[in-house]
Homo-oligomer: A and B are copies of this chain.
Amino acid sequence: MKSFFEARRIAVIGASREPGKVGNVIFRNLLKNDNLRCFPINPNADYVEGNKAFPDVLSIPFPVDMAIIAVPAKIVPEVLEQCGKKEIKNVVIISSGFNESGNLELTEKIEEISERYRIKIIGPNVLGIINPYKNMNASFFKEMPGKGNIAFISQSGAVGAAILDRALLNHFGLSAFISLGNMLQQDFLDALDYLEKDLYTEIIVLYIESLKPETGKDFVEICKRISKRKKIIAIKAGKTTEGEIAARTHTASLSSPSKIYSGAFKQAGIIEVNNLEEMFSLAEIFSKYKKLGKKVCIITNAGGLGVLAADSCVRAGLKLEEIPEMVLLELDKILPFGYSRRNPLDILGDALAERYEKVLKILSRRNIFDFFIVILSPQEMTQPLQTADLLVKTKIPIVACYIGGKSLQEAKKFLKEQGVIVIEDVSEIEILGKI
């Protein structure tokens, strides 16, 4: 799959002049990288976005490394055949309307052409592929995510779009995004093989509806190998019977009973999550901390939330390590009477940012705790932004837990922008058990 990301001369078949059309968006996305040479294929246009259009790939007077196909399904065999003749070895078929819609004949046709010409195909029925480090956006998702260490492989294009949109909102950076669609040719194994070697990728997230049954064993093997060095997170859709039937009509593959998947994931060292929220949280945490440890200290300005957080920590298998008496004596000097004198450390409702800072300083001086959960709820004197500022600056491993609504929005946005792990509800602490 590496060759897809290394393509420099790219033809977009179905590059439309009409803004908003899939073929137009893809072409414009690719044009943003000056190092790429992009050829619009459009028999009805002389120019697309200022670039000379060609009626077909065969008319391009240069070799072409990759073609992106965004034409109606019934024309795909014809243009794919032309790609073969042009000796284009990497093709992304964006178009839908193949086996997922019951069009088996059309599907077999493109399968046959791909085999005859030895064309590597991603798709059909995909959003495309993205690599921020190579500044390549060969998809119809409009915005390029930031650079990071998370790679997403999504069988569903739309789930992929939701993931990318969320990445933009929460400011987490990606190393690659691959939409696999119907997996006619390139599948999870190819994507994993590429990401195993990719130096930027440290976390791999898989949205799986179903694996090709014949690839199951290899999938487990390759993941077992990768998971020794990189984190793999997977979500399996279609775990219930209803979901399974829905998945079948969606990407045209049979999904097997969920227990088989869960077992295989475990064997392969894959961390399975149950929903998109968990998936995002875990990927975000891993992108910052490979390991957090089990010994945690909760610091809170709200006793009640400390209680709920303690519950979640216990459920997550974390250890609320005791604060030694010596440290408590130090805390006695700076905290007002009535503070909890234990972990979870309730530093009381009138805590300003400064109190959080002093407490974090004292508690982190000795190596008692692996990390800190810092809870803030909006009370009378609370300084959400100032406290966020100090959390951004601290070098201690922390997870910020801002619990409230309207008055915390700005501070939460700031924390996320600055790369601090923010969880939205104390119950989300339970996800830390999967690290």
> Which A residues fall within an 8 A CB radius of B?
20, 22, 25, 96-97, 100-101, 140, 142-143, 154-159, 161-162, 165-170, 207, 209, 235, 237-243, 245-247, 249-251, 274-278, 301-308, 310-315, 320, 337-338, 340-342, 344, 346, 348-349, 377-381, 403-409, 424-427
Q: Which residue of B lies closest to A430 (CB)?
A: B275
Whether B425 and A275, one on each chain, are in contact in the complex, defined by CB atoms closer than 8 angstroms, is yes
B-side contacts of A170, CB under 8 Å: 405
Among the listed B235, B313, B408, B425, which residue makes an inter-chain contact with A242, where contact means beta carbons less than 8 Å apart? B313
In this complex, the member of A243, A277, A426 whose beta carbon has the largest number of chain B beta carbons within 10 angstroms is: A243
Do A246 and B158 have beta carbons less than 8 Å apart? no
> B165 to A378, Cβ gap below 8 A?
yes
Give the complex CA separation of A427 and B235 in angstroms: 12
Which residues of B sit under 8 angstroms from A306, Cβ to Cβ?
A: 246, 250
Residues of B with C-beta under 8 A to A379:
157-158, 161
A161 x B346 contact (CB < 8 A): no
Given contacts A314-B242, A380-B25, contact A304 B207 (CB under 8 A): yes
Contacts A/B (CB < 8 Å), 26 sampled: A142-B380, A156-B302, A156-B303, A157-B304, A158-B301, A158-B379, A159-B305, A161-B378, A165-B404, A166-B405, A167-B405, A169-B405, A170-B405, A237-B308, A237-B311, A240-B311, A240-B315, A246-B306, A246-B342, A246-B344, A249-B340, A250-B304, A250-B340, A275-B308, A275-B312, A276-B308
Known contacts A156-B307, A207-B304, A245-B342; can you find 4 more A-B pairs with CB under 8 A? Answer: A156-B302, A240-B315, A242-B311, A274-B427
> Which residue of the partner chain, among B100, B157, B238, B311, contacts A307 with CB atoms under 8 Å?
B238
A337 / chain B contacts, CB cutoff of 8 Å: 97, 101
Q: Which residues of B contact A168 (CB under 8 A)?
A: 405-407
* Contacting pair B307 A340 (CB below 8 A): no
The answer to whether B426 and A310 touch across the interface, beta carbons within 8 angstroms, is: no
Contact of A378 among B162, B278, B303, B427 (CB under 8 A): B162
Task: Report, nearest first, the 5 A-B pairs whose CB atoms are least far apart.
Answer: A156-B304, A158-B302, A169-B405, A275-B427, A250-B303
Are B250 and A338 interface neighbours, CB within 8 A? no
Q: When A313-B242, A378-B162 are in contact, do A304 and B237 touch as well, CB less than 8 Å?
A: yes
* A159 contact set on B, CB distance < 8 A: 302, 304-305, 308, 377
Cβ of A290 to closest chain B Cβ, rounded Å? 25
Name the residue among A154, A207, A312, A379 with the largest chain B CB count within 10 angstroms. Answer: A379
Q: For A311, list chain B residues within 8 Å (CB).
A: 237-240, 242-243
Task: Determine the distance from Cα of A338 to Cα of B95 in the docked complex, in whole angstroms.
Answer: 12
Contact A404 B162 (CB under 8 A): yes
